[in-house]
Amino acid sequence: MFVTLVAVLCHGLAGSPNACVEEIVTDSSKSDISLQSCMIQGQIGVSKWMSEHPIYHADWTLERYKCAAGHYQLHVKA
């Protein structure tokens, strides 16, 4: 099954709900992610991705993450 790990990130300085974006962290075509591993270790993967990402490593917080079955289409993009 194809799985997509999606992070919902909010900007710490803006303080409004509109300051949140969705980002695809990884999917089954880029890693060995399964639905079970995504659900168990997804937050670790998102935290690592955030620390390495040039935009999201400062002043952004992880609001939530989700493991979506299939190819996920972003709803809110930066």
Q: What is the pLDDT of residues 33-54, one digit of tens each?
A: 999 999 999 999 999 999 998 8
Compute mean pLDDT per 10 residues along the chain, 78 residues long, and list them.
Answer: 93 66 93 94 93 82 93 75
Q: What is the pLDDT of residue 18?
A: 61
Q: Provide the b/e sequence for 34-66 (b: ≥16 CB within 10 Å).
A: eeeebeeebeebbeebbeebeebeeebeeeebe
Q: Are 50 and 7 in contact (CB under 8 A)?
A: yes
Q: Are 15 and 38 in contact (CB under 8 A)?
A: no
How many residues does the structure list for the chain? 78
Query: What phi and psi, each to the nearest 5 degrees, are found at residue 17?
Result: -60, -25
